[in-house]
Structure formats: C-alpha cells, structure tokens
A and B are shown apart, each in its own frame.
Chain A
Amino acid sequence: MSTTMQSPRQQAGREDDDALVERFGSSRRSRFSRHVILCAIGLFMMYPLMWLVSSSLKPNGLIFSDLSLWPAAWHPANYTEGWTALEYDFGVYFSNSLVIVVLSIIGNLFSCSLAAYGFARLDFTGRKLFFALMLGTMMLPGHVLLIPQYILFAKLGWLNTYYPLLVPNFLATNAFYIFLMVQFMRSLPTELDDAARIDGCGPFRTFWSIILPLCRPAFATTAIFTFISVWNEFFGPLLYLTDPELYTVPLALRQFVDSEGQSAWGPMFAMSVLSLAPIIGFFIAGQKYLVKGIATTGLK
C-alpha cells in the first residue's frame, strides 16, 4: 500500500485501518478481549482446513482411522501421485478452471455493473418491471431450467465448449451481482450525479468516472464471489463438458471417487487442498480492495 501520491484527506481515511477508529473510546483491555474472542472464533473456522490438510498428508489407510490432526505417519507423496493420477495431469484442469474463472469475473464485472447503473441511477420506461423480472429470475429453482437450457445450448452448438459457462456471464444473467451493485450504487449520494450533469457529463461519463471508482468494494465482492462460485461449480461443467481435456477441477476431483470400490482418498484430499489454494490466494489478494470505498477515497 503506497501512500506517497495521496492527498492529506485520503491519508486520514487510510489511517482508518489502523489507529483512527480505535481512538474512539476503546481501551487497551477491550482491544485485548476482542482479540481473544476473534481468535477463539478463528480457531473454530480454521478447523476444517486443518483437517483437510492433515488428511491430505496421511497414507490412504490412516485417513479414516487416525482422527488426530497431527498425522501419525506422513505421506506427502499424495500430492505427486494425485497430480498425475487422472487422464491428464492436474495442471490441465487447473488451467481450464482458471480460464473459465477469469473470463467469468470479467464478464460479471462488466455486464452487471452496466445493468446495475441503469437500474440504480437512471430512469427509463419499464424500469420497475424489468427490475422485478430480474429479481424473479433469482427465485425460480434452477433444476427446472436445466433441460430447456441444455436444449438451447445444444441448438446453438455449444455442447462440449466453455460457451454455456461463459457467455451468460457476459450478458448479466447473474441477478445476484446486479442487485448487489444496485444496492451499493444507491447508497451513494445522488448529488454526485447532479453535479456531474451540471458539469456536462453524460450518463456514460458519470458511470465511468464517478460511480465506478466509488463502487470498488462492490466490485471486489463481485469478483471474489464469482471466483468462489465458478471455481467450485460442479453441475454446469458436468452437463456441458464431455471431453476430459476440458474438465474443471471439481469434475476432475470427482473422478477419484468410486462408491463401489477402492477410492484413492489420499491423492483426492491432496488435490482438494490444492484446489482451495487459488480461492484462498485470490481472497487474500483481493480483500484489500474490499475496504477501498468512499471512506478511503476522501469523498465529501
């Protein structure tokens, strides 16, 4: 985080992260007790990851008999075995997933922010109807849409390609993110638009140079949520991808499992842990943008 190019006002905002707000009446003792509470909750939240990591390092026979978090015997070879256990090595699946995720994030950010700006800050005929329709699409259980959608994508010749997984994201079909951005944009003062209009800005300029920069937390949230949901998605890729060379990580992970025979649990756990790494990494890298809102950009 560089602070060299910022105005004093912005620096005051940035301070918020560390000391500024803590000045408002929290004693050292209350701070300490807060850390204790947070650490206790943190341990509770960490347990599953620790369990997964620990299982991924155990030999196959111990995974289900040795319940302790500290493996009685170590078997790091699960990782090397798992990486090459399937038809293609996991690098292929990881890069497939990555291509889909990155494009989905771009698509969602782009198309949903446009639609959200339209809904939140512009007035046009039928706006309420369209908004209600958009919310409505969130409310219908997806299972009954699968077959018509499959037929539609089959007619377009998109089976066994990434198009069914990607194109909808470029067309703002994810109402959740539109609604999220709408709420963020609506909480910005309307004087902003008025001021921009007086300065001669059209709606596109206003959108691009005024609203977008102020909605960074909403974009960070959208990007993170898209990453997680697309990265973990199983059913869409299952339906539309048939060639194992195109498989995503969740599809590949499922191929370790055979409910009727001996499954390669160790390698499966190892690859599951690896599959979490990009999500956690992306969240850690992206989360600093979660906090770059209006408060830290020094808006009056």
Chain B
Amino acid sequence: MKAAGLGLAAAPALAACGRGFGGDDDSGDGVTLNMVWWGDAARAEKTQAALDLFMERNEGVAIEVEYQDSGPYQDKLATRFAAGDAPDLMAMRMDSLREYADRGALLDLGEYEGDLDLSGLSDSAATLAAVGDSVFGVPAGLNTIGFVVRKDLAEQYGADIPDGDTWGWDDLAAFAQTVSDASGGEVYGTGFDAQTLANIVVYCRQQGEDFFTEAGELGISAATVQSWFELIDGMRRSGAYPPAGFFEEIGGGPDQSYIAQGKLASQIIPTNNFLGYNAACGGSLALLRIPGETRSVRRGQSVDCPHLWSVASASKHPEEAVKLLEFLTNDPEASLATGTTRGVPANADVAEEIKPSLEPDDQLATEYLMALQEEELPRSYTYPPGGSAIADVLDVIAVEVEFGRTTPADGAAQFIAEAEGALAG
C-alpha cells in the first residue's frame, strides 16, 4: 500500500518539473499523420524542411515524425505493427516489404492511382515494390551499387584504372594484383563482401539467372554460387584480395571504411553514399560500374532504392498519407529540400531539375544512376518472405569458405540446400 501510494504520489509531483508524464496531448482538430523512417539528425533536418513545406500548403494536416538508426527502427516498427499501433507512412526496407505486404499490413497504392502519379518513374523504379498487380511502396530515392577506385593509390602503385563501363572481372583481378604486388602487401587491390546479397545478386544476373525469381523462388544455381566464391577465393590466394579475417563486422560508415583508411584500393559501395566515401577518401575516388557488365550473358546491375515509402493498411488517414507521398515523390520542391539523402529522386524529371543544386559528388552519382536507368536492364524482383533468412545463410557459408573450412563447391551446394529450406519454411 505504502509503495503504491508513494508511486502514485511521486509521479504527479514530478510532472510539474518534468516532461514525459502525459497531459500534453496536442492532437487538435486536424489530421495528424505519423511518419517514421531511419537515419540521423542531418537527414532529419532535410526531411523536416520538406514536411514543413507540405504542412504549409495543407492546413489541418500535422505530421509527427520519428526516426532512429536502421537497426532499432526495424524492431520498433515490428513491435508497433504487432501491437496494432502502426504508423501512417513509413520507410520500408526492400527485404521486409513482402513480410509486411503479404500479410496485408500495407496499403495497395495501386488503388490510389488518381492521387499518386507514378508515371514519372522509370519502369525499373516503378516496379521495385510491385507484388503481382499491387504496388506496396514508392522508392524514397534510387541508388545502385557501384565500384569505387582510389585514383591516388592506383597512380602511386602504377596500376591503370580500366574503363569502368566495359571492364570485366579479370580486369579487376589484374588491376588489384598490380596494386597489391606494388605496395608489398600494404594495400590490397580490391575487397568486397562475398556475403552481401546486393553484390552476388548482380553477379548472378550477369550469369543469366535471377537470385529471386518473379515467383519468389530461389533462381540462382549452385554453379553460379560456386563461381562467385571461386572468383573471390582466387583473388584472395593471389593476394589481390585481403586474407581471411580481414573484414571486421563492427561499426560501419565511410569514415571507418578500409578504402578510406588506405587499406583497400577499390571496393563496392551503394552509389548514394558516394559523396560520403569520396569525402572520407579526400576526393580521390573514381566511380565505375560493376565489372563484367558488357562481357557476360546479360546486364547485372539494376536500379534499386535505399528504402521505400509505404503506407499502413490500418492507417486512419490514407488519403492524406498518399497525398504526402505524392508530394515527396513528384514535387521538385520537396526533393530540393531533401536533396539526395535517400538517393536520387525516383521521378526522373525531378531528379533532372534538382541536379544543379547538388554538390559535385552527388551530381556524379546522380548521372551514373540516370544513365543506368535509360539502358535496357533486367528487372529486379522483390525479396520473397524469408529472404532475410537467406542473407543469414549466405553470411555463414561465405565465412566458412573464406576460412577454408569448406570448399567453394561444397559451400555452394550447402547454400542452395539451406536457402531453399529457408524459403520453404
């Protein structure tokens, strides 16, 4: 009794001197949209500028924003959905899209065709979040992966940077070998994760296979997985690629990257991070395409997005949420405010319009992506439910191969078996 009494007495007493004890519910008459996304304070500032503009034009609509780092963001989002407390508009990861969409948690934006105009998007951008005939998200921005090379290190060690549009995997190996040899092991010529899904997806597409097929199945063959492992293994043995254990999975970000520290001369990055990486590398980076694009069965690169915007099917204000989405996607002023913090604007006209206002590095990355969009590329299919389990499986097996605990052939076979199991389960 005493304890409860004290507890109840203490709380109001402190409410006077502190926030966080309720009572300041300021939801007035209008509509309040809850919008959540991941990122940092810098991105928040840019986003808020766009939202302020929207609220100015739409009186009676207030937007409550919340953002976190991407890991915690996922956890909180899942919890809120489970508790029936879903936000209205949210950032959605490509690999969780179908986890939510297939269970009816997201609004089919196709039904709002009149309010949300996706005609300004390239085909590859507009279909990113398409499942069957429905569309469950709009790319918040576009990106892709690209190969960055340190020009200063290449020059220092007398390695010529190949033509980034036409180079092949053997050109990469030769370039990397030259750097590694000339530096006496100080710098490795190249290094990229074997286990990062985005990387192997491109390689696999170059071999004429889709990692995930349209039907949501695993389309990659054991032979392709094996050749991917062998490609890296070969470079590792010859010293062009760092030894096992070199890549440490702690932290992240351009500043801590091996290429910024001068331990690698080239690596794969998401293109929307080019500005950050180039700044961390003192402006010495060249942005190339992924090797093998013109020398393989078909093109491998595709247009992707760092995240999608989705609307919860349980949203009480779908019209307003869609209106905001339309504003963010198609209004140049919104993109002028946000810049390329989430990648290149999905609407090509908008992207073209804001390009002059961008910093030179962002302009470069934007051009890279716009050029890619104009080309004929194979379609990339959404991750099926269970896709994240496949990423885990690949992560385990790639390390086993890296440390020689299993051969590329055995690892590849094991991957196919476990990945198919994960999709089936």
Contact = CB atoms under 8 A, between A and B. Distances in A.
B424 interface: no
Contacts of B70: 259-260
For the side of the interface on B, what is the size category? 35 or more
A114 B3 contact: yes
Interface string A178-195: 000000000000000000
B83 A150 contact: yes
B252 A259 contact: yes
Contacts of B43: 258, 261
Interface in A145-178: 146-147, 150-151, 154, 157-159, 161-163, 166-167, 170-172
B20 A162 contact: yes
B39 A258 contact: yes
A60 to B, nearest CB: 7
B3 A106 contact: no
B85 interface: yes
A260 B41 contact: no
A158 B11 CA distance: 13
A235 B75 CA distance: 9
Contacts of B76: 238-239
A266 B341 CA distance: 21
Contacts of B280: 262
A111 interface: yes
A258 B6 contact: no
Given A114-B2, A259-B70, A64 B255 contact: yes
A254 to B, nearest CB: 5
Contacts of B272: 260
Interface residues of A, number: 56
A195 to B, nearest CB: 25
Interface in A215-243: 234-235, 238-239, 241-242
B371 interface: no
A262 B255 contact: yes
Interface in B12-31: 14, 17-22
Interface string A47-70: 000000000000011011100000
Contacts of B2: 114
8 contacts: A96-B18, A158-B22, A162-B20, A241-B20, A259-B69, A261-B253, A263-B253, A264-B41
Given A163-B22, A170-B3, A254-B68, 18 more contacts: A86-B41, A107-B7, A111-B7, A147-B82, A158-B22, A161-B21, A172-B3, A241-B20, A242-B66, A251-B68, A255-B40, A255-B68, A258-B40, A258-B69, A259-B70, A260-B273, A261-B275, A262-B255
Interface of A: 60-61, 63-65, 85-87, 95-96, 99-100, 103, 106-107, 110-111, 114, 146-147, 150-151, 154, 157-159, 161-163, 166-167, 170-172, 234-235, 238-239, 241-242, 244-246, 251, 254-265
Interface of B: 2-4, 6-7, 10-11, 14, 17-22, 39-44, 64, 66-70, 72, 75-76, 79-80, 82-85, 252-256, 260-261, 270, 272-273, 275-276, 279-280, 306, 341
